[in-house]
Amino acid sequence: MTRVQRVAVLGAGSWGTAFGKVLADSGREVTLWARRPEVATSVNDGHVNPGYLPGIVLPDNLRATVEPGEAMTDADAVVFAVPSQTLRANLLDWREGLPEAATLVSLAKGVELGTWKRMSEVITEVAGVDPERVAVLTGPNLAREIAEGQPTAAVVACGDVDRATAFQLACTTGYFRVYTNTDVIGSELGGALKNVIALACGIAAGMGYGDNTRASLITRGLAETARLGVALGADPLTFAGLAGLGDLVATCSSRLSRNRTFGEHLGRGQTLAEAEKANHGQVAEGVKSCLSICELAAQHGIEMPIADGVRRVCHEGLSAAAMAKQLVTRDLKPE
């Protein structure tokens, strides 16, 4: 098993920076790629990234650069921490600099528009690498809490057990506990679907509904996720673990969740544009992923009423009230 000591994290947003801190706290040498020079300067000179994680002091062994090639030089692992819908375009620019034997790790949670590919599939295709070199890290991982050192757990999924174990050791700290899994499909789908279900929970909260509604959406949303996952070859047990239920509960329940917060704006009757403005110009991942997820489900004949309801609210002008009524009045059936 090859030790992972030098790690490049490409993406200096909240999660990329927080995960870079995890790796550094585990004793790795971490180079963070930032698109904007002022972010790299803040990390290097002040050990902070105030635009994304205000008040968090970053370790000395976490440095930043605006040159992706510099970040990847001699890296044992390269971590992709950019939004799912921009991963392909970024990889086209980065692939020539990828170290030959490095483990490639995705933090992004989504399904690509137009191709319906999971992020590991995008990496494999664009980078031209063996799928066994690609891993995904997922779980209940709200960036702010992790950056503060609050205890949590995660899953690193990879078809190569040795690679998964090596990366597990590289990012385990006193507050960040990592498990391994070989079910890449299930781990990725759990991460992608939870964003869509979190939008539904946010919509419900924005309408004034409480815990019963949220619990129902989480439970039935998990059932939708498992149906699609099994159809695509995932292990159904994955959805009972950190990559499924764990991530789903955190994202659907926390006000730190961008998707849940975005959904609340929609539940209050705001348009997509108004919700985006209220969300500081940022569109939640689930808003785009719901399109590709619903298309993927249709291709496999999988019924996903919650995901489809979110899609119609976001992209067809369906009101939150109409979505709620349609979900509650569907034909009765056994659980």
List all residues 6 or more positions away from 300 whose beta carbon is below 8 Å from its beta carbon: 228, 231, 232
3-state secondary structure 167-199: HHHHCCCCCEEEEEECCHHHHHHHHHHHHHHHH
Q: Catalytic residue among 21, 109, 117, 194, which?
A: 194
d(CA 162, CA 159): 9
d(CA 182, CA 177): 17
Sign of the CA dihedral with 124 first, then 293, 142, and 157 last: negative
Residue 242 is given by DSSP the state I
CB 187 within 8 A of CB 153: no
Angle between helices 87-94 and 119-127 (to 10 degrees): 30
CB-based burial label for 205 (10 Å; 0-12, 13-18, 19+): buried
Number of H helices, E strands in the chain: 15, 8
Q: Which residues are 205's β-sheet partners?
A: none
CB 108 within 8 A of CB 84: yes
Q: Is 194 a catalytic residue?
A: yes
Angle between helices 305-315 and 258-267 (to 10 degrees): 70
Beta strand extents in the chain (DSSP E only): 6-10, 29-33, 62-65, 77-80, 103-106, 134-138, 152-158, 176-181
Closest to 176 (Cα-Cα) out of 211, 212, 149: 149
Residues labelled catalytic: 194
